[in-house]
Homo-oligomer: A and B are copies of this chain.
Amino acid sequence: MTSRTALKKPKDAYHHGDLRNALLTVARRELDAGSYEQLSLRELARLAGVSANAPYRHFASKDEILAEVAAQGFRELSARMDAERHPEPKERLARLCDVYTTFASEHPAVYRTMFGAEKQALMDFPVLQEAASTSFGRLVAATIAAYGSGRPDERETLARASALWSLVHGWSRLVIDGVTCFLPEGSIAPASVSARAVIAAW
């Protein structure tokens, strides 16, 4: 029985073709199109040209779809970070900060989903946890490469990694949530300026 079912997925077979991926694609597209509010499962089905309950063939629940979208977001972020290969460790660290905030600015709704502000339960999905850990690991590793290793006291390095990560995440959220726009003129500098101001000082 198991050996039979193992062959069952010819990748483009059956009625729709590949509804699972279609749903994920549509979800991602919807988020990127600016739907800041939580999108609905029925809407996703509608956009995929399929009945409201069809998604349940491929996902156990709405949350499972969102968790997968979030995980894909983290994977993309990690990939972008990996593509940044500047040889000078501090410069590379600064550029990773740029990569981070750029991603957030380009995909605000996806970014929100990744951090589960609305849905605490998303964090329970292992697929999301793993993808997220990988992304954060990149930033921590780059910080260690820039400042750590030699010293016996790594707490300081850890504090620096935390500070940078908090900085880029905070800046991203302030911008995404539209907070900066109702502040006194110019009271927030671009993230890259802020991050570099910190990195340069260390």
Contact = CB atoms under 8 A, between A and B. Distances in A.
A187 B171 CA distance: 19
A140 B36 CA distance: 29
A133 B182 CA distance: 7
B118 A189 contact: no
A195 B164 CA distance: 10
A47 interface: no
Interface residues of A, number: 51
A193 interface: yes
B166 A166 contact: yes
A76 interface: no
Nearest to A202: B201
A187 B139 CA distance: 10
Given A36-B120, A178-B116, A165 B188 contact: yes
A169 B162 contact: no
A198 B188 CA distance: 17
A195 B140 CA distance: 17
A102 interface: no
Interface in A9-31: none
Nearest to A114: B179
A156 B194 CA distance: 9
A158 interface: yes
Contact of A177 (B115, B181, B182, B202): B115
A103 to B, nearest CB: 15
A93 interface: no
Given A156-B197, A158-B188, A162-B194, 16 more contacts: A115-B179, A116-B179, A117-B117, A117-B173, A118-B118, A123-B181, A129-B182, A132-B179, A158-B187, A162-B188, A163-B167, A163-B198, A166-B167, A166-B191, A170-B172, A170-B173
In the A-B complex, the 10 residue pairs with the closest CB atoms? A170-B170, A163-B194, A166-B170, A169-B170, A166-B171, A201-B201, A159-B189, A162-B189, A129-B182, A162-B188
